[in-house]
Structure 1
Amino acid sequence: MTIKDTPAKITNIGSMKAPSSLVTPIAEANKDVSNSTNSTKGTATNGIKIRNEDEPNNSTKTESSPRFVIIGAGARGYAYATTIHKLTNGLVSAVAEPLKFSRENLGKKFIWQDKEPQKGQSFLGWREYLDYEIARRKRVAEGEDNVPPGADGAFVCVQDAMHEAVVIGLAPLNLHIMCEKPLSTTLQSCLKMYRALKPTMVTNVFSIGHVLRYTQHNMLLRKLIVEDKAIGNISSVVHTEPVGWWHFTHSFVRGNWRNEQTSGPSLLTKSCHDIDFLLWMLCSPEKAGEGESHIPSTVSSQGGLNFFKKSRKPSGAGDATNCMKCALGDSGCKYSAKNLYIGPHRYSLEGGNLSMPVNIVVHDIEDYKTMDEKKAAMTRALEADWDKATPREEVAARQWYGRCVFEADNNVNDEQFVTISFPETNRPAKQVTFHMVAQTKKICERFTHYYGDEGEIYADGYKITVENFATGEKTEHDPKYVAGGHGSGDQGLTVQFVAACDAVKNKGWAAEQAQNNYIGCTLDEALRSHAMVFAAEEARKEQKIVHWPQWWSENVGDDSQ
């Protein structure tokens, strides 16, 4: 009997659980993953140190708890603040946000509760915070009594194009910094940030919002592939990011990330953490800061804006540029803003939803008491439109959620492929293909095929299936599923970052030790994954194959690979 004729033996390891409440700490959730794979207790499946049951409750707050300022109180800032508050020993001590509703919403929830904010807790923006902190430190240096404590770290969650100014502005304060992805919108901007941050790494830790590294699923997946070599040496990988038909229109046609000139290409703003994830799996050393990376040889890319453009507009829509005035607004177009935000779409007001995407369009939607009031507020927001006479700067400065998706000022790709090749050097040769696609039923539920010389792995964010060529055995791993942003990656990243800050502040750890053991990603790795995105975009636009070592030398130079 040949191997292929041998009936597959299926082994199931672990169980998938989806708690209704917020994710438990990554340390706790990881116990189930560790138990299912016989890994060492207290060590995460990607080599990152995690807390275990023998350590103190990591949500207990004390006077020495690490303190954090949230710079940018939008959806991302609020998500990180929630995890700091609920799942770590850290304290949200201040918020800097120009939008009053968002600033007060976060502050009342996590900082001053039902009281008025004290001095040093609420700021209209990051510059106001910076001025305050410089003055506060001067008061401390002069020996003034009763000076309130400052922050130990900052979560930078402002718009992408602002990251450079904020991070470089904060660098002299020597704070621990977690910057939302992407690092910045151009390679030169990323390099400026790298050079500003590098000297601070002697005493501080840094994290980038590459949350895919920190899900229970992906940590186990990396252990199986990199540490256990469950399918031998990798030959090739095919990874798909299905953005989702309505999610893409919300964020990348009507929303903040629709135009490359004001934000960046979609490969950067949507998929830079996918590129980072693939490099983490295939390029990075087994443990951060130890060993050699497997440096790629080439990168190529194809893609473009294929669907969300005027040539694809339904004829029935006529000359309408706004869904609220379109003949297809009530029926006939699934992208209708009326359908998506008012109803009957499942994530609309009528669908009972008051969170994303509804509260992105109307930030204070929960303050309206009745459904009629909510619909009226939403209607007003969706009716906003622009025409040919509107200054281009005014169009670019805001979001137009009622705009026809075929008449918007979007220009970012809705379809893209990236292929990265690795030569036979310190590891065997391999290739990876990444596919970002907008028109999907799945909403950001990534799936990946790994092909090795001893077997295959299929992973979909919920289950990991390993098949062995020689034995025909199939093993299914069900990592503990944890509800939360990016499959618990938002929570995992936050918990690990706070733990790293705590280790430096309260346990005498060197910053490099905390960086490698808790965060598991170096500043150099963060730069490399962003550089790969820019190299891929150059390859796509110029229709060429980029030779990575040469490109790195010419564009990055002496900065570390």
Structure 2
Amino acid sequence: MKRQKIAVIGAGARGFLSYMPYVLQHPNEAEIVAVAEPDARRRADFAQTFRLNENQVYLSWEQLLEQPKFCDALLICTQDRMHFEPTMQALRKGYHVLLEKPMSADPLECSLITKEASKRGLLLSICHVSRYTPFWQRMKSLIADGRIGDVVSIQHNENVGYLHYAHSFVRGNWRNSDQSSPMILAKSCHDMDLIRWLVDSECARISSFGSLSHFRLENAPTGSTERCTDGCAVESSCPYSALRFYLQDIKDNPFAKLIADPPSTDNRMNAITSGPYGKCVYRTDNNVVDHQIVNMEFENGATVMFSMCGFTRDINRIVQIMGTKGEIRGDLVKGEIDLFEFSGGIRSVIQTKVGDGGHQGGDDEIMRQFLSDLRDRRFESNLTSADSALESHFMAFAAEQSRLRGGEVVDMKAFRSTSKTASPSLGRQ
């Protein structure tokens, strides 16, 4: 088996912790030959893990891409608004690319990236990792096999989890759309992608409602302070206490290890007292919605209602798919699919494997598939190709436009046409 030579741009939570375990477990499939990472500690840890010398380590993506082409593909895992430039430069140099989602926070840039890859005949795969999980794969196969007939309607709930929401979207890197991207894109482009994939039709019309209703200064409890460590009178009873949340054992709390590197107790305490993760959740510069619904009508007549909410007990996706011959109900965390077929009144409860690793095994599977596609030179019509991702990205952009305009119905045909030549202003949340 020919080993693919890969360079990584962005050695953070996704580029290093999520995707590199597969490479370490399957050294016969890939060789990591370079990294670009501005954080000195992450850069050093990555270089040590893959035994890179100083000539294989770069402080920025610009430095790496200044070099003549030296490997097969790049894995680009920078922040949302830092995807376009390195991806375009990589494609122009002839690199195949595995790009973290979202493709870009700008619909025109998404279109330009897709066109560039197609023009050059290069593999550009987007990290819509959910498509690779056993749960969603089985869901798709049941529909494709006609077990519930034609899809008529879908109700899809994304339960973000109250602590996950507070960590990532109130205090964390995705709290402000001006710095990252709107919630429907940053978090829920997975869901837009899954919906588009399951319905298997172009979206015709879309509308959306939602807001940032709770995590605002006017809702701060009496006696609260700028930081959880400033003598807050309600810290001990606040469900979002940074002290209680981030000082847990990192084995029990995966978010705790992300606020400091290395995540020692002292380093985490320092991050709480001086960084964004110790801010009162009612006093940050956050502006992304904490709840949103999206209504969709597809060209084949199917309708979909999607709901995202940050006020849920667990992190999960719950789905109900109603067809002309049956119904499917699914619980992602349980890996359980409840199939009911109208003919004969037959009910089947299907237990899918809950995969190891991130996103129920999806992180490992997308790496396996990307490396396989490179080896076998399958550069077009891949499961998570840029072409397939572009449509679901447009759905997310259109939903945000609708929300910002009071829920007006967006005609997707007109939106696609406009977005391929100019970027509609989505404004603040």
What is the deviation of 1:194? Answer: 2.5
Kept after mapping to 2: 8 A contact 1:85/1:92: no
Q: Which has the higher mean CA deviation after the structures are superposed, 355-364 or 77-86? A: 355-364
Gaps of 5+ in 1: 1-61, 138-149, 284-293, 343-347, 366-373, 385-398, 505-509
- 2: CA distance between counterparts of 1:448 and 1:414? 20
Displacement of 1:557 in angstroms is 5.8
Aligned 1:381-420 pairs, distance under 5 A: 381-384=271-274, 400-420=276-296
CA deviation digits over 1:518-547, x for unaligned, max 9?
x32332221111111111111111120011
In 2: Cα distance, 1:328 partner to 1:102 partner: 37
User: What is the TM-score normalised by the length of structure 2?
Assistant: 0.93
Of residues 217, 228, 236, the one that matches 1:331 is 236
Q: Structure 1 or 2: larger strand share?
A: 2
Distance 1:554 1:251 in 2: 31
Within the alignment, does 1:279 sit opposite 2:196 as a pair? yes
The correspondence of residues 331-350 of structure 1 with structure 2, limited to 5 A, is: 331-342=236-247, 348=248
CA distance in 2, matches of 1:247, 1:311: 22
Give the corresponding residue for 1:81: 20
Partner of 1:206: 124
Q: Distance in 1 between matches of 2:195 and 2:350?
A: 20
Per the TM alignment, residue 376 of structure 1 is displaced from its structure 2 partner at its CA by 2.8
- Following TM superposition, by how much is the alpha carbon of 1:355 offset from its aligned partner in structure 2, in angstroms? 7.0
Deviation at 1:101? 1.2
Contact 1:328/1:336 (CA < 8 Å) preserved in 2? no
Structure 2 counterpart of 1:11: none
Question: Which residue number in structure 1 is paired with residue 414 of structure 2?
Answer: 550
Letter in 2 for 1:230: R
Q: Does 1:526 align with 2:394?
A: no
User: Residues 203 and 395 of structure 2 are in contact (CA less than 8 Å); yes or no, is this contact kept in structure 1?
Assistant: no
Q: Return the alpha-carbon distance in structure 2 between the equivalents of residues 240 and 489 of structure 1.
A: 19
Contact persistence 1:329–1:339 (CA under 8 A): no
Aligned residue pairs, count = 417
In the alignment, which residue of structure 2 is the partner of 1:16? none
The aligned counterpart of 2:172 is 255
For the residue of structure 2 that corresponds to 1:501, the secondary structure is helix
Q: Give 1:190's match in structure 2, choosing from 102, 110, 134.
A: 110
Q: Deviations over 1:164-216 (max 9, x none)?
A: 1110121122111000000011112223322332312x2x2111011111101
Q: How far does residue 479 in structure 1 lie from its aligned partner after superposition?
A: 1.6
Are 1:439 and 2:311 an aligned pair? yes
Match of 1:500 in 2: 373
- CA shift at 1:311, angstroms? 2.0
Q: Once the two structures are superposed, what CA deviation does each residue of 1:301-340 show, in whole Å capped at 9, x if it has no partner?
A: 00010111112211232xx110111334651101011111
For the 8 Å contact 1:361–1:401, the answer to whether it is kept is: yes
User: 3-state SS of the aligned residue for 2:180?
Assistant: coil
| Structure-1-length-normalised TM-score | 0.72
Maintained 8 Å contact 2:117/2:123: no
Cα deviation 1:460-504 (Å, max 9, x = unaligned): 120111001231110111122212111111111111011101112
Cα-Cα RMSD? 1.8
Find out whether 1:314 has 2:185 as its counterpart: no
Q: If you compute each CA radius of gyration, which structure gives the higher value, 1 or 2?
A: 1
Alignment of 1:123-522 (within 5 A): 123-131=58-66, 133-134=67-68, 150-200=70-120, 202=121, 204-225=122-143, 227-283=144-200, 294-317=201-224, 320-328=225-233, 330-342=235-247, 348=248, 351-353=249-251, 356-365=254-263, 374-384=264-274, 400-423=276-299, 427=300, 429-443=301-315, 445-461=316-332, 462-504=335-377, 511-512=379-380, 516=381, 519-522=382-385
Inter-partner Cα distance in structure 2 for 1:210 and 1:521 = 6
Tell me by how many angstroms 1:352 deviates: 4.6
- One-letter identity of the residue aligned with 2:273: E
Cα distance in 2 for partners of 1:332, 1:496 equals 46
Aligned residue identity for 1:361: I
Change (3 A) 1:326 1:433: farther
Give 3-state SS (helix, strand or coil) of 1:381's partner: helix
Structure 1 position 555, deviation (Å): 2.6
Residue pair 1:85, 1:91 contacting (<8 A) in 2 also: no
Task: Give identity over the alignment, percent.
Answer: 31
CA displacement, residues 388-431 of structure 1 (integer Å, 9 cap, x when unaligned): xxxxxxxxxxx6111000011100001000111024xxx4x110
Change (3 A) 1:100 1:223: same
Contact 1:238–1:433 at 8 Å: present in 2 too?
A: yes
